[in-house]
Structure 1
Amino acid sequence: MDVMEIIKDAFVFPSKDLKNLLIFIVLSVVASAFAFGGFVLYIGGFIVPECFMWGGMACIVSMIIGWIMSGYLISVIKSGIDQDDKVPGFVWWDNFINGFNNFVVAIVYFIIPAFIVFIVAYLTNVFGNFMIVAQGIMLQAEGSYLGYSTSFMSGAISQALINLAISLATTVAIGVIVFVIFAFFQTMAQARLANTGSLGEALNVMEAAKDLRRIGIGKVIIVVLLIIIVVAVINMILSIIPFLAILSIIITPYLVIFAQRAIGLLYSDIA
């Protein structure tokens, strides 16, 4: 499909079935309420220990609802892959399983770049440079407290700070690039999960990368950028006009479905 056709179709899609949209909105509100309640209860647990248990239970409920919503979004991607104009309904157990699988996909596609960034940080000696700076500052503070001169350390600390800044900048720059790349891979992995129903296929990083090339890296980037622009513009309008902020309860779930539908339509080129 043409890029603009994808965006137009995806933007209208959630409104084609208000019942399922309403269910998704309600689930998002309930999940958010349990997540917030769990956080508050955990804070309260430092005063009333029993609150830790209730906070944990609230977080588990929020997570389960989140998995169901995530699984439903996989079915939305599938509808886009099949170019089916009918909005999928909720199939609770299937949605839960797909949502759990999607959670596993997200974890794996986060761990890999995180591990790469850790290796880069090790090779650029971020940890060593940080320890040198920390030890130098501590020795300087100790010297000032005990009354002996520490001026000779200033140069060493300055050099260590420069080394730390260089190593950190290198690690952050590479980290951003790696995480962006794997974010695109994860998007393809979600589409593979929707298309095949197989967690193994979704976790095949090499095939996800090949799917990206098959569709066309340029086309994928353009669609993703357009999705981001649409979401950003609508959120900016909501933030500028205060009394419209309440609509974010409805608009945010709508935009989430819109984005997933667009990903499905994008993947339909090679399905």
Structure 2
Amino acid sequence: MEIMDIIKEAFLFPSQNLEKLAIYIVITFVVGILIGGGVILTAFGAYAGEFIYVILSVILIILGIIVSFIISGYQLGILKSGIDQVPEAPSFDWKNDMINGVKMLIVSIVYFIIPMIITLIIALITNIPGQFIDLFEQAAVAPANVTAATNATAPIVSGVSDAAIAALGTSIAITAIIAAVLFIIFAFLHTMGESRLANTGSLGEALNIPEAFKDITRIGVGKVVAVIILMIVVVSVISGILGYIYGQVPQLSILSVIVTPYLTFFAQRATGLLYSDIA
């Protein structure tokens, strides 16, 4: 499927499945109420000193998390519909969607914990912790300057050196650049991992990172990058326009309840259509 055809078909997809979109919107609204209510009850319980409110808040938050798993699992179903190139959005299957939602969480953890660990290792190699300690030690000496300045016989002790600041800045910059590259690469791999999960239903296949990498090459690196960038551009432009409108008319921010799920349908469908080339 051609790149622009993927974007066009995916963008129209939610409007062609308004009933499923409406159900999805209601469920996401319920999640917001459950988790938001839980947070409010936690704060109220802490203020009132009533333990019962804490218990109720925990129950609401747990329910919210469970329903959020259903939402995540349903998103996988939308991705699957794109892979199969069927015009209809999938029906809600609460049990199966919840299981898939848990699988989605596991996939995300595995794919993003790797660049996180590598980033921490790079931070140690560039000695960021040691340089921070050195900076704090130099800063701790600075108050002695006040005493030294009032005592003609006391030596003036220098504060934080420019060299120490420059060294720390360089280390942070190197680590940040490497981290950004790693997270971008693994974000693409994560997309393939989710697609593999949707296509096969197997968590093992989804976590097969070497095969996920091969999937990118099978589809074509240029095509994968182009489709994902176009998805980001579409979402960013619409979000930017609506953000401006919300700033002018705050009451219209309620539209985000509809727009955000619409864009979620779009992104998942586009990803599925992209992966359908090799499914």
Verify same fold: TM over 0.5.
yes
Structure 2: which amino acid aligns with 1:184?
F
Provide the TM-score with structure 1 as the length reference.
0.93
Q: How far is the alpha carbon of 1:42 from its aligned partner? A: 3.5
Q: Which residue of 53, 60, 79 corresponds with 1:77?
A: 79
Aligned-partner Cα distance in 1 for 2:45–2:140 = 35
Instruction: Describe the superposition over 1:6-51 as per-residue Cα deviations: whole angstroms up to 9, x where unpaired.
Output: 0111111112222211110011111122222333333345433624
2:142 is matched with which residue? 140
Aligned-partner Cα distance in 2 for 1:25–1:145 = 64
Select between 33-42 and 249-258 the one with higher mean Cα deviation.
33-42
1:174 is matched with which residue? 178
1:229 is matched with which residue? 233
Aligned-partner Cα distance in 2 for 1:135–1:10 = 56
Q: How far is the alpha carbon of 1:270 from its aligned partner? A: 0.6
Alignment of 1:94-243 (within 5 A): 94-142=96-144, 144=146, 151-154=156-159, 157-241=161-245, 242=249, 243=251
User: Are 1:248 and 2:256 counterparts?
Assistant: yes
Consecutive unaligned residues of structure 2, counting only runs of 5 or more, are none
Aligned-partner Cα distance in 2 for 1:244–1:144 = 56
Count residues with an aligned counterpart.
Answer: 270
Aligned-partner Cα distance in 2 for 1:41–1:184 = 39
Aligned-partner Cα distance in 2 for 1:2–1:73 = 23
Aligned-partner Cα distance in 2 for 1:37–1:145 = 54
Select between 186-195 and 31-40 the one with higher mean Cα deviation.
31-40
Q: 1:246 to 1:145 in 2, by over 3 A?
A: farther
> Conserved in 2, the CA contact under 8 Å of 1:144 and 1:150?
no
Q: How far is the alpha carbon of 1:142 from its aligned partner? A: 5.0
Provide the TM-score with structure 2 as the length reference.
0.91
Select between 164-173 and 43-52 the one with higher mean Cα deviation.
43-52
Q: 1:69 to 1:151 in 2, by over 3 A?
A: farther
Consecutive unaligned residues of structure 1, counting only runs of 5 or more, are none
CA RMSD of aligned residues (A): 1.9
User: Are 1:8 and 2:8 counterparts?
Assistant: yes
SS at match of 1:153: coil
Q: 1:38 to 1:110 in 2, by over 3 A?
A: farther
User: After TM superposition, where is structure 1 displaced by more than 4 Å over at least 4 residues in a row?
Assistant: 145-151
